[in-house]
Structure 1
């Protein structure tokens, strides 16, 4: 049995024809300041904004298919792109190779229905083409926050956790020197977020020093590991945990209560526990050794 044709499926009611909207490429515009993408950034794979557009343009020239652009009416005429900025630019770049006999290029579009905040959320949740970087996401989350959305509302709308939204907003609100290092790809976003959270205004200088240390070690960017240094060996951590548990057990309840209240300056401990603490301290690498 042969497969049915589209024509036969329309005839028997299995499918319906729909009026598809198309616009000339010249009538599809970018809204100034709306796009979240940073044209000077590179993604996690090291691909730049321009390189990705050229990749899409080559895909178009080879006969590849791209999803329709999502658009909204433009007061001056034509439409604004809501989702599909890079696709629009790729079509423009490939126009001379794929236009019709009249030299025109008509693109299929899908109307977007929603307000200004929902348009921003649409860009964030779009799965077409290159994913947004952490800085680009941060720009979007900050815009939604300016619209009055709470972190919980943002997380629900974009399908992420509240913790994720909080972390990205930290990066979005970081000083320009921190964002510059992340944009250049020499500092991992997670490292920048952690450093800003703990050191605030001093984060930029600390991250710049971490970048220098990473480069000296032959690494292309600073990570949380570069900043923190090497973790303590598990054996030392276990030994320290054991002896502190013994100290806690050795303290009488009234002494522990007084310590928590800040009413005691000195306590007496068994000599063996103090000896164990000294031995553990001698086994801990120095900060210089851990940073090496």
Structure 2
């Protein structure tokens, strides 16, 4: 009996081994369909991002070396071969070819499902690049428009229906806010919280925080926004507070205890100082954004 040293020969000898749906296709035949891939949703120049370019570069080098790279998953429609999973791999192949690599055909796996199944592939694939909350939201929104319930979507992506609902709610945010989320300038959950609180003005709140903290376009956190909006206390108010509190603490020895209550004796001057401080604090609350950049202390 002849030795069996390949899957092809083993397939001939055993019914337990069968051929797959792998095909070899010329790279120039593999196309991207506009709007299908949710990665980079609401982003301009997604493939120019440093992290994405670095990933494509790494894949291109792997193709040049002849390393194993998982096949691209495609869908054939009207004679055209469209990527369904492996957009970065497609670009990496073209990059390697442009740099002299002699890649004439690449392996692809044909996807048999409908549009919904093809979209789910983006959410469930092991591409190594995690989806952002907004990229997931676009997938869930697309399925919802096709009549899928939150529970049905949740079951297919191994999440909860509440997760799906919250993710889809991100699609209701203003376009500029979604762009800031995708650019990594603000967390999706905090952006949604600001939108519930400020509506369309949430974008202005974030941009003002960026300008005042000098962090543009770095991520704006809750701490930075709250710090920016914290009331400012001028030196005069601080001095008045210090004087009043000092005066009160010096009189603690005069406290008279009457059960669970205490009586503190104040002079007329003490009372006038406290009244004056109360008026200054009232003015501060009414006008929390006093611009005294060189003479302010943050409360």
**What TM-score does the superposition give when structure 1 sets the normalisation length?**
0.65
Q: Does 1:58 align with 2:61?
A: yes
- Decide whether aligned partners of structure 1 residues 62 and 225 sit closer, same or farther in structure 2, where only a CA change above 3 A counts: farther
Match of 2:292 in 1: none
Query: What is the distance in 2 between the residues matched to 1:144 and 1:128?
Result: 21
Match of 1:67 in 2: 70
Secondary structure (helix, strand or coil) at the match of 2:214 reads helix
Match of 2:82 in 1: 80
Q: 2:26 pairs with 4, 24, 47, which one?
A: 24
- What is the Cα deviation at residue 192 of structure 1? 0.9
Match of 2:219 in 1: 221
Secondary structure (helix, strand or coil) at the match of 1:172 reads helix
Residues 9 and 15 in structure 1, CA contact (< 8 A), matched pair in contact too: no
Residues 7 and 17 in structure 2, CA contact (< 8 A), matched pair in contact too: no
The number of residues matched between the two structures is 228
- Decide whether aligned partners of structure 1 residues 164 and 7 sit closer, same or farther in structure 2, where only a CA change above 3 A counts: closer
Secondary structure (helix, strand or coil) at the match of 1:79 reads strand
Where does the alignment leave 5 or more consecutive residues of structure 1 unmatched? 231-270, 273-285
- What is the Cα deviation at residue 219 of structure 1? 9.6
Query: What is the distance in 2 between the residues matched to 1:157 and 1:80?
Result: 23
**Farther-moved stretch of structure 1 (190-199 vs 117-126):** 190-199
Match of 1:146 in 2: 145
Secondary structure (helix, strand or coil) at the match of 1:109 reads strand
Residues 42 and 185 in structure 1, CA contact (< 8 A), matched pair in contact too: no
Residues 151 and 165 in structure 1, CA contact (< 8 A), matched pair in contact too: yes
Q: Does 1:106 align with 2:105?
A: yes
- Decide whether aligned partners of structure 1 residues 118 and 12 sit closer, same or farther in structure 2, where only a CA change above 3 A counts: closer
Mapping of 1:233-248 within 5 angstroms? none
Mapping of 1:1-292 within 5 angstroms? 6=6, 10=10, 13=14, 16=17, 18=19, 20-38=22-40, 40=44, 47-75=50-78, 77-95=79-97, 97-99=100-102, 105-215=104-214, 220-228=218-226
Query: What is the distance in 1 between the residues matched to 2:118 and 2:7?
Result: 36
- Decide whether aligned partners of structure 1 residues 17 and 219 sit closer, same or farther in structure 2, where only a CA change above 3 A counts: closer
Where does the alignment leave 5 or more consecutive residues of structure 2 unmatched? 229-259, 262-284, 290-295
Query: What is the distance in 1 between the residues matched to 2:162 and 2:115?
Result: 25
The structure where strand makes up a greater share of residues is 2
**What TM-score does the superposition give when structure 2 sets the normalisation length?**
0.64
- What is the Cα deviation at residue 32 of structure 1? 2.1
1:54-98 C-alpha deviation (Å, 9 max, x unpaired) = 2211222233221111111120x2411111111111111112544
Residues 27 and 105 in structure 2, CA contact (< 8 A), matched pair in contact too: yes
- What is the Cα deviation at residue 164 of structure 1? 2.4
Residues 214 and 220 in structure 1, CA contact (< 8 A), matched pair in contact too: no
Query: What is the distance in 1 between the residues matched to 2:15 and 2:118?
Result: 33
- What is the Cα deviation at residue 151 of structure 1? 1.9
Match of 1:245 in 2: none
- Decide whether aligned partners of structure 1 residues 221 and 7 sit closer, same or farther in structure 2, where only a CA change above 3 A counts: closer
1:220-255 C-alpha deviation (Å, 9 max, x unpaired) = 32123334569xxxxxxxxxxxxxxxxxxxxxxxxx
Match of 2:276 in 1: none
Query: What is the distance in 2 between the residues matched to 1:49 and 1:138?
Result: 20
- What is the Cα deviation at residue 174 of structure 1? 0.7
**Farther-moved stretch of structure 1 (123-132 vs 221-230):** 221-230
